[in-house]
């Protein structure tokens, strides 16, 4: 029988920043169905599975990470919370890689052709997880309850899974999961302001002010040939900025870098997504503390480039900024977007540019990759048609902007229709504007809750605890453990009653 003591509700906070978990005890391949929604095609592919079983005891739960857009090892190495929770609940740790990422390539080297990308959908990924869970007793040789974990897109998948397959899991921890940021909700300005807020609070008010001014100046300079020359020089773009679409691409590149650096403003040095120093926002603001709203245009552009480079080029790995890869294309020009098949080298998540932008083009139009493939930014309403034009040229797909909301519901609807989900968001994360309502516990059956972590960054609660963590992160991790153990206690009671 699964047993544990409620006296173990505390978390042992690791004193090692960036602690790396032990290596998997098993690396397996699960035979996965290629197309779950056709009945005249039995094609399969191999899906990577990472397992760590040293904490597992009979009848313990399966702590299952829903892989997102990248190599599964990167999420394994950056999700220490599962290794903190598992010994307290006798859990088996399992990570399932997302189709089309890492080494889980259904068509091998040909996986990213337009013809083969058609099987890369959220619905197929959710069905992958459903099939995997239904084979737990034969593939994993265990039959305990499943608790899903996921951060960012992985957290979105964990939540959406409970909308579609609520009978297969006991609960989910969906960290930094923006399940409610859809076209027509007009959250673009709120997202931008949430990112700038981080520079004002965790950098300095002056830093936020001059960055806002500098971003506006980029548009102004882009209106003239001389101004475009300044932008080309100060931002060291790989090709000269020649027209309006180039200016749009530069702005998307810059905004993606700024918002994503705010998102991952961890209090310790980290290389998740891209190498950065501890407290990168404060670092960048201190580096440019000589600037103000009244600084000359060329100095503002130089400063903005310096701030951006803390995120995209901290280790000087880039010789220039390749803005041509931004998923934007003129709606009237015949000029074609350079092929996204060009790989971004050196990324911890692997080359995710083409598969992720295909997903953005088909189902997540407000979430294209930016900033050399490292960043994300919610584009303004006027940019969306240009993204759609690029999608048509690059992938020959037409976006269905309302499909995801119609299929899964908005934040309130998800809360009302699900059970046992912890949604967590960090104060520093601009994507929190797409989270579920703060009063979620009062909206549904009381089992779906939202935790806003003051001073927390993007799914910081999923990482190993660190001495640099603010107390709010430590408290959130403890609260999450408490809730999960409550789910398991209820499961044990129900199991005994139903025997």
pLDDT-derived band at 488 (thresholds 50, 70, 90) equals very high
Q: Is 265 a catalytic residue?
A: no
* C-alpha span between 71 and 273 (Å, rounded): 11
Listing DSSP states for 404-426 in one string gives HHHHH--HHHHHHH--SEEEEEE
Give tens-digit pLDDT for 314-338: 999 999 999 999 999 875 443 334 4
Q: Which of 74, 248, 429, 461 is catalytic?
A: 429
- What would the pLDDT profile of 392-414 be if each residue is shown by its tens digit? 999 999 988 899 999 999 999 99
pLDDT digits (tens, 9 = 90+) for 84-96: 999 999 999 999 9
Q: Give residue 17's pLDDT.
A: 46
Catalytic residue, candidates 98, 111, 152, 447: 152
Catalytic-labelled residue, pool 321, 450, 458, 459: 458
Query: So what's the pLDDT on residue 335?
Result: 38
Reported as a pLDDT band with limits 50, 70 and 90, residue 496 is confident
pLDDT score, position 483: 98
Question: What's the pLDDT at 19?
Answer: 86
pLDDT in tens, 336-351: 344 434 433 444 445 7
Residue 167 annotated among the catalytic residues of the structure: no
Task: Give catalytic status of residue 429 as yes or no.
Answer: yes
- Over residues 432-459, mean pLDDT: 97
Span 258-294, pLDDT tens digits:
999 999 999 999 988 899 999 999 999 999 999 999 9
What was the pLDDT predicted at 18? 64
pLDDT on residue 344 = 38
DSSP structure string for 309-368: HHHH-TT---SSB-GGGSS---SS--PPPPPTTSPPPS-TT-S-HHHHHHHHHHT-TT--
The whole-number pLDDT of residue 497 equals 77
Question: For 15-44, what is each residue's pLDDT tens digit?
Answer: 334 689 999 999 999 999 999 999 998 999
Tokens of 490: 């209820």
Rounded to whole angstroms, what are the CA distances from 241 to 40, 147, 334?
50, 49, 17
Average pLDDT value for residue range 43-65: 98
């Amino acid at each position: 029988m699964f047993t544990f003591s409620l006296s173990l509700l505390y978390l042992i906070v690791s004193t090692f920043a960036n602690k790396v978990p032990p290596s998997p005890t098993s690396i397996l391949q699960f035979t996965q169905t290629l197309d779950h929604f056709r009945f005249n095609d039995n094609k399969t592919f191999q899906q990577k599975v990472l397992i760590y079983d040293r904490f597992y005891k009979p009848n313990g739960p399966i702590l299952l990470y829903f892989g997102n857009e990248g190599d599964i090892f990167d999420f394994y190495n950056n999700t220490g919370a599962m290794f903190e929770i598992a010994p307290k609940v006798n859990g088996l740790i399992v990570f399932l890689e997302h189709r089309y990422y890492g080494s889980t390539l259904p068509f091998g080297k040909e996986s990213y052709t337009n013809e083969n990308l058609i099987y890369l959908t959220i619905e197929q990924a959710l069905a992958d997880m459903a099939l995997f869970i239904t084979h737990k007793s034969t593939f994993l040789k265990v039959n305990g309850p499943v608790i899903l974990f996921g951060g960012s897109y992985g957290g979105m998948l964990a939540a959406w899974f409970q909308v579609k397959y609520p009978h297969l899991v006991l609960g989910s921890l969906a960290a930094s999961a923006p399940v409610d940021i859809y076209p027509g909700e007009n959250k673009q300005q709120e997202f931008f302001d949430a990112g700038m807020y981080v520079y004002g609070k965790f950098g300095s008010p002056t830093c936020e002010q001059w960055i806002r001014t500098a971003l506006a100046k980029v548009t102004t300079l882009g209106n003239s040939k001389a101004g475009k020359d300044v932008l080309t020089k100060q931002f060291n773009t790989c090709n000269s900025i020649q027209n309006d679409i180039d200016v749009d691409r530069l702005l998307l590149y810059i905004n993606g870098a700024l918002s994503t650096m705010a998102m991952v403003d961890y209090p310790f040095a980290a290389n998740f997504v891209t190498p950065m120093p501890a407290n990168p926002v404060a670092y960048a603001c201190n580096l440019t503390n000589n600037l103000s709203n009244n600084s000359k245009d060329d100095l503002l552009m130089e400063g903005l480039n310096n701030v951006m480079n803390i995120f995209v080029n901290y280790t000087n790995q880039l010789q220039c900024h390749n803005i041509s890869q931004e998923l934007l294309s003129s709606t009237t020009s015949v000029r074609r977007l350079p092929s996204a098949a060009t790989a971004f080298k050196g990324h911890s998540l692997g080359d995710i540019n083409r598969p992720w932008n295909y997903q953005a083009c088909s189902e997540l139009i407000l979430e294209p990759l930016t900033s050399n493939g490292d960043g994300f930014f919610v584009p303004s309403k006027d940019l969306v048609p240009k993204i759609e034009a690029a999608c048509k040229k690059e992938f020959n797909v037409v976006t269905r902007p309302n499909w995801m909301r119609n299929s899964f519901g908005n934040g309130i609807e998800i809360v009302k229709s699900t059970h046992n989900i912890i949604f967590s968001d960090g104060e520093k994360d601009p994507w929190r504007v797409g989270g579920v309502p703060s009063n979620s516990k009062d909206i549904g059956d009381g089992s779906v809750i939202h935790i806003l972590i003051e001073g927390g960054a993007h799914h910081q609660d999923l990482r190993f605890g660190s001495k640099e963590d603010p107390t709010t992160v430590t408290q959130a991790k403890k609260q999450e453990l408490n809730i999960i153990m409550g789910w398991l206690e209820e499961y044990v009671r129900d199991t005994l009653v139903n025997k």
